Copies of this chain bind each other. A is one copy, B any other.
Amino acid sequence: MQTLNVDLDNRSYSIHIGTGILSSVVELLEPLKLSKHLVVVTNDVVAPLYLEQVVNLLHNSTYDVDCVILPDGEQHKDDASLNSIFTHMLENNCDRSTTIVALGGGVIGDMAGFAAATYMRGIPFVQIPTTLLAQVDSSVGGKTAINHPLGKNMIGAFYQPRSVIIDVATLNTLDERHFRAGLAEVIKYGVIADAEFFSWLEQNVSRLLDKDPSALKYAIKTCCKIKAGIVAQDETEHSVRALLNFGHTFGHAIEQLCGYGTVLHGEAVAIGMAVASRMSAQKGLCSSADVARLDRILLQYGLDIHIPQGFTPTQFVTAMMRDKKVSSGVLRMVLAHGIGASAVHLLPDPMLDFTQLLADFSLGS
């Protein structure tokens, strides 16, 4: 097992990464000195796989454990699911000392984290991510949220977990589609911050697609290390943290237009990265060879980079203008400066930028 630290003063915490470490959950929670009442929040896909194991371990230790099982999917990352967590907790006399344990993917982690941020104005929570996307990205850094019909992750809080426990073995039960979607976020870290890691990803396609445990552990650790470093510098996204949104501005627009859950978050980010790299090339920030290299790795990892049909550039831009990265009508977009470096650019006239780009674009060709 390896342990990384997210360095945030009195909100600092550990990320534990290992194979089979779910069985050590009691020992890993021990240093946190949590009170005995835990609420495990999970979904109906993860529950049959891991809930009994986790609850039994906790229960056989000193904990009282309640469970909330939500329906699976991004379309349920909403106000109704959030309220069902609150109602369950109030009915079961959860108080300010109760800890929420998020057991699942990014949707569960974001929603359970936001419940923890706002239940009685804030209670402790722990992340046990079981999807690749959650393990490399959403479980680390304290971004919590639910979706609003008019925009993704619009309602939320910055609220750090007390610990993140990443059991790489849980990826063995993750379906191919979700696994590949998670790889989009893995590739993102290479593009924005680490050219060497990007090359390693190019050289280890089959090991990762075969879920080789040591390759997975290396990739996850590298992503978490990059993210922990960025979050420690800029917890609430006033500067460098925005780079983590590479591919996300267009990606969120896809998710919202297609309907939450239709295109997976990672799938949308893959397309968003292909779009962002083309805009980067158009502005002379990266070469067409870099664009081709990013396209190629996305395709090698089984990610589609075609823009969903049936939407006009105006619809995409309108959706993007509701993004959290918009300020006073100016869209901020992360662009690639070659492979391994990136920066936030201001687009004062995004309609102009995107209309031409999307018209010219025959992605994946």
- A residues sitting closer than 8 Å to B (CB atoms) are 35-37, 79, 83, 86-87, 90-91, 93, 95-97, 117-122, 143, 145, 148-151, 154-158, 236, 321-322, 324, 326-329
CB pair B327 A119 closer than 8 Å: no
Please pick, from B86, B91, B145, B328, the residue contacting A155 in the complex, using a CB distance under 8 A: B86
CB pair B93 A321 closer than 8 Å: yes
Residue of B nearest to A35 (CB): B328
Query: A96: shortest Cβ distance to chain B, in Å?
Result: 6
Query: A56: shortest Cβ distance to chain B, in Å?
Result: 23
**A324 to chain B: which residues have CB within 8 Å?**
95-96, 120-121
**A151 to chain B: which residues have CB within 8 Å?**
90
With A87-B150, A90-B150 known, 20 other A-B pairs at CB within 8 A are: A35-B327, A35-B328, A86-B148, A87-B149, A90-B148, A90-B151, A93-B321, A93-B326, A95-B328, A96-B324, A96-B327, A97-B327, A118-B157, A120-B324, A121-B156, A121-B158, A121-B236, A122-B158, A122-B236, A157-B157
CB pair A154 B95 closer than 8 Å: no
Please pick, from B87, B91, B143, the residue contacting A121 in the complex, using a CB distance under 8 A: B143
Please pick, from B35, B236, B326, the residue contacting A95 in the complex, using a CB distance under 8 A: B326
Q: How distant is the Cα of A122 from the Cα of B118 in the complex, in angstroms? A: 13
Q: How distant is the Cα of A329 from the Cα of B35 in the complex, in angstroms? A: 12
Please pick, from B90, B117, B327, B329, the residue contacting A154 in the complex, using a CB distance under 8 A: B90
CB pair A86 B154 closer than 8 Å: yes
**A143 to chain B: which residues have CB within 8 Å?**
121
6 residue pairs A–B, Cβ–Cβ below 8 Å: A79-B83, A90-B150, A90-B154, A97-B327, A97-B328, A121-B145
Q: How distant is the Cα of A36 from the Cα of B329 in the complex, in angstroms? A: 12
Which of A91, A156, A321: most chain B CB closer than 10 A? A156
**A121 to chain B: which residues have CB within 8 Å?**
143, 145, 156-158, 236, 324
Q: How distant is the Cα of A300 from the Cα of B327 in the complex, in angstroms? A: 53
Query: A248: shortest Cβ distance to chain B, in Å?
Result: 14
Residue of B nearest to A155 (CB): B118
Residue of B nearest to A91 (CB): B150
Q: How distant is the Cα of A57 from the Cα of B120 in the complex, in angstroms? A: 37
Q: How distant is the Cα of A151 from the Cα of B93 in the complex, in angstroms? A: 11
Q: How distant is the Cα of A158 from the Cα of B95 in the complex, in angstroms? A: 16
Query: A321: shortest Cβ distance to chain B, in Å?
Result: 7
**A95 to chain B: which residues have CB within 8 Å?**
324, 326-328
Q: How distant is the Cα of A79 from the Cα of B145 in the complex, in angstroms? A: 15
**A155 to chain B: which residues have CB within 8 Å?**
86, 118-119
Query: A136: shortest Cβ distance to chain B, in Å?
Result: 21
Query: A146: shortest Cβ distance to chain B, in Å?
Result: 9
**A79 to chain B: which residues have CB within 8 Å?**
79, 83
Q: How distant is the Cα of A158 from the Cα of B96 in the complex, in angstroms? A: 14
Query: A261: shortest Cβ distance to chain B, in Å?
Result: 20
Please pick, from B90, B150, B157, B327, the residue contacting A117 in the complex, using a CB distance under 8 A: B157
**A97 to chain B: which residues have CB within 8 Å?**
327-328
CB pair A157 B328 closer than 8 Å: no
**A119 to chain B: which residues have CB within 8 Å?**
154-155
Q: How distant is the Cα of A117 from the Cα of B119 in the complex, in angstroms? A: 13
**A148 to chain B: which residues have CB within 8 Å?**
86-87, 90
Q: How distant is the Cα of A121 from the Cα of B157 in the complex, in angstroms? A: 4
**A35 to chain B: which residues have CB within 8 Å?**
327-328
